[in-house]
Amino acid sequence: MSRYWSKVVDGLTPYVPGEQPKLPKLIKLNTNENPYGPSPRALAALRAEVGDTLRLYPDPDCDSLKQSIAAFHKLKPAQVFVSNGSDEVLAHTFLALLKHEQPVLFPDITYSFYPVYCGLYGIEHKQVPLTESFEIRVDDYLTPNGGIIFPNPNAPTGRPLALSEIERLLRANAGSVVVVDEAYVDFGAESAVGLVERYPQLLVVHSLSKSRSLAGLRVGYALGHGELIEALHRVKDSFNSYPLDRFALAGAAAAMEDRAYFEETCAKVVATRTRLVTGLESLGFDVLPSAANFIFAQHGKQGGAELAARLRQRSIIVRHFNNPPRIAPFLRITVGTDAQCEALIGALRAILA
């Protein structure tokens, strides 16, 4: 511990993001980036933003982007909150809506930023074990709590939770906020956005990093009842009154408005995912059902760490998690292009031979 550190900093275990290696001719399948570029309309909007107006602050209320998001989801702009990537949306959510006397509940195998936020803000939490088949079981969350949060589909497993089960959870949990983190929902899961009008305790979080190919722009948003959105704004305005720059506002709005490109690229990823799963199963992998742009797979005869290391020797990067030990045999593999996934299958075939 440095003598200048606060006690909070000394006790933190920071989140470790996926590696961004600088290797030549790399097939990068470790951070769930979209293999297809952003919408041409988004790129045009970014180029148009270059000019003298960059000397001025951006719109602190992000009105044009909120209108585009609201129109896409058939909601009102007052039901939309935007910020620097869904990670910052989640950070504000933990402080604004999930810090209570009762512990916040989330799965024991899930997005590893959740316990980091709890440590940062001093939030009591309880990790709820997934089932033997790595599923979220709603009955396990029907206990007193200070809030509930989970990704749908879950990460890193990719398994989705049915919308009917999410609604059952909401009906049984009216006293605290339920956050559904839908970073990967556009690749095959059922979105809970349609439930926002009926359940004032529901907050749905989205990202433009995955299905809209804008990971480099850092834009995320939340959808919910006005009371929840106001709480997020109170935290945001106490932290950073200008959350998104002019480029992010322009590019994100254009991406939200280009529905055709969004649907086309999502369909491509889903089709490639199907072929990837078939290829992996033919090599002896057990692949969990995925509704995300990644799959979670283990091989019966080769450990996850060993496979990840041997793939790296062939300039193919996938994600391996040592903790918790239950998932150590697995690899999380981003769905790339058809050519990238074929190269992966070829490399695995050679390794396993």
**Domain 17-37+260-352 is in which class?**
alpha beta
Q: What is the pTM of this model?
A: 0.95
Higher pLDDT: 19 or 223? It is 223
Any long-range contacts for 230-239 (C-beta under 8 Å, 24+ apart)?
231/96, 231/97, 232/81, 232/83, 232/89, 232/92, 232/93, 232/96, 232/97, 233/81, 234/96, 235/92, 235/95, 235/96, 236/81, 236/83, 236/92, 239/92
**Domain 40-257 is in which class?**
alpha beta
How many whole angstroms separate alpha carbon 248 and alpha carbon 160? Answer: 29
What is the average pLDDT value for the chain, to the nearest integer? 96
- 246-257 vs 40-48: helix axis angle to the nearest 10? 150
Domain locations along the chain: 17-37+260-352, 40-257
pLDDT in tens, 296-340: 999 989 999 999 999 999 999 999 999 899 999 999 999 999 999
pLDDT in tens, 38-52: 999 999 999 999 999
Q: For 291-309, b where at least 16 C-beta lie within 10 A, e where not — what string?
A: bbbbbbbbbeebebeebbe
pLDDT in tens, 97-136: 999 999 999 999 999 999 999 999 999 999 999 999 999 9
**Does position 15 have pLDDT exceeding 90, yes or no?**
no
Choose among 156, 158, 126: nearest CA to 143. 126
Residue 312 CA, distance from chain mean position: 24
Mean pLDDT of 218-243: 96
The answer to whether the CB of 17 falls within 8 A of the CB of 321 is: no
The pLDDT, as a whole number, for residue 1 is 62
The pLDDT, as a whole number, for residue 200 is 98
Same fold, 17-37+260-352 and 40-257: no
